[in-house]
Structure 1
């Protein structure tokens, strides 16, 4: 889903506009890497400043679903690479979400050290170990000023300090929103200083393009 709005903060409700897209992921390249080309080729109307929700179908493997497979859900899910992070920053994506166990690719998380057998599988398929395949990234930590070099979890570190937040484990009625634009509301617990928390995400289909912020908290967020 996609539409524009102010930057999200996990201290109050977040309402903005956005599109939900279903990228076509080649099955032969497990675990699939979601590139900017795949996202742009999905057919969604993605504009600068949008919220972006990606549907991969992986939510069907979560607990309680008919095709439940938690190992597949957490260890085999697709995800973006550094090119996609750069693309999102260039597009000024406000925040984004995906129906997977992490918004980093499974082999670009600690899974690759917790499950060396899967990392070996990935290496055999791609001809490179996960660390080499996804590459190293560097950034200056804005609060401490230190230079950070890392090769894992880019969407959980570098992206966050650039204001690019994300929502993981999306599900529910996400399949009803494919390639549609809507007003998106994200409603986490209302506490300051949270690292992460459960969040209800709702698509409003009949709200139009312009929505008035009501209340001091909402107006403060929309003005930021």
Structure 2
């Protein structure tokens, strides 16, 4: 195949391959000059690309923010002006739009939930160690897909549900709200629909992002407290899932490790001391103990088992610029790999606000 390619090059340009692409020059161009100039390469594009032939578009690529590796999976999208809007006006509007990254860095230091497999990275190639220094970096990564900032798909808890890759791309984006309830929650506390509705103008069909303030205890924060982040985060009240169904919430997201209250998961058994503290807090607040407020047969993994069959899934471990975002309406999007077999998947989560 190389001989065929070189023959074609000679025919069209009158040069051999090494004359056209001197090895050291080409390596310096592609491995040094281009990266320094911020000119990176996206490969294996597909999907609806044929529909954009010879057309201008606002193109976005959102890679997973891997901290230790040289390449990353990404979801690529191309946006075009809606009917009735000129291309120039559309591009001007996009340039003025503020994009906020709600994603945590993805690292070997990222704690995994419970007994899931954490991330490990193994370099298999190094740029300076092969082919007289003309090699490339390459790493193999191993981890649970339920790690760092990720989307829980229907299939994660619903056997008849759709995988991540079976979800339509439109499902992952739309209007919604970010609501900051950090002033109203504390260790193992409960948040309610009323807390949401009194802070933001939430509408039917919205995407709902809940900012509890727990992102500040994440692994990459100067106030990192892994036990508090994983085991003592607040969670939804008993009526929360039914409220989400009534409001036809599209999907949810939260800045802690789970959309559930941790004491409505296996963590209740694994951390009995924390459960006793949470139970006493509930008694003090509502005058009832945990099993009276959250009967096990209905509320074990309530936000998973009762919402996923309704098509209402959620993102966990949000963070990043969420720390600086206030209450309000935004256009929210999740850029998630089209993994056809995946029940959950890492993603890049963003919110768009008018500048």
Pair in the same fold by TM > 0.5:
yes
Unaligned runs of 5+ residues in structure 1 are 1-7, 137-148, 208-224
Change over 3 Å in CA distance of 1:129–1:194 after alignment to 2 = farther
Unaligned runs of 5+ residues in structure 2 are 1-161
Change over 3 Å in CA distance of 1:40–1:121 after alignment to 2 = same
- Runs (4+) of structure 1 exceeding 6 A deviation are none
Across the two proteins, how many residue pairs are aligned to each other?
188
TM-score by length of 2: 0.49
Q: 1:121 Cα shift? A: 1.6
Q: 1:189 Cα shift? A: 1.6
Alignment of 1:1-224 (within 5 A): 10-11=164-165, 13=169, 14-23=172-181, 25-26=183-184, 30-42=187-199, 44-127=200-283, 128-136=288-296, 149-206=297-354
Q: 1:97 Cα shift? A: 0.4
TM-score by length of 1: 0.76
Change over 3 Å in CA distance of 1:24–1:175 after alignment to 2 = closer
Counterpart-to-counterpart distance in 2, 1:84 and 1:98 = 14
Rg larger for? 2
The answer (yes or no) to whether the contact 1:112–1:130 under 8 Å persists in 2 is no
- The higher relative CO (CA closer than 8 Å, separation ≥ 6) is in 1
- Deviation per CA, 1:75-127, whole angstroms, max 9, x where unpaired? 11001123011111100000010101100012111111110111112223333
SS at match of 2:317: coil
Counterpart-to-counterpart distance in 2, 1:180 and 1:151 = 30
Counterpart-to-counterpart distance in 1, 2:329 and 2:195 = 18
The answer (yes or no) to whether the contact 1:25–1:34 under 8 Å persists in 2 is no
Counterpart-to-counterpart distance in 1, 2:247 and 2:280 = 34
Change over 3 Å in CA distance of 1:204–1:24 after alignment to 2 = closer
SS at match of 1:197: strand
SS at match of 1:52: strand
Counterpart-to-counterpart distance in 1, 2:229 and 2:243 = 25
